[in-house]
Amino acid sequence: MPQFMDFHADLKLPDEAIQQIAQDTKNEKADEFGVRQVELFHNPEGNVYCLLEAPDAEAVRKHHAALGVPCGDVHEVSGLL
């Protein structure tokens, strides 16, 4: 399945949200749009990068909209491994 990365500026995630995302990622849980979190990178300043598996970029946008999280540019990416 294709992978996508997006960026969120000033999205300070509470610890509970990070824990839930981590659990869903470990369980390889996908949402109703077929989107699955692969990794999430964040820092205390609120910069968040999401690496997601999804059928397409539109599914990524729907995933974020359902969470009430603004979503800017979505980029399809490939890894080294």
Domain containing residue 44: CATH number: 3.30.70.3090
Neighbours of 10 (CB within 10 A): 9
User: Which domain covers residue 37, as residue numbers?
Assistant: 3-77
Task: Report the predicted TM-score, pTM, of the whole model to 2 decimal places.
Answer: 0.88
Give mean pLDDT, residues 23-32.
Answer: 94
CA dist list (Å): 25 to 28, 29, 50, 51: 5, 6, 11, 11
The pLDDT value recorded for residue 12 is: 84
Give mean pLDDT, residues 37-51.
Answer: 92
Q: How many domains does the chain have?
A: 1
Neighbours of 64 (CB within 10 A): 20
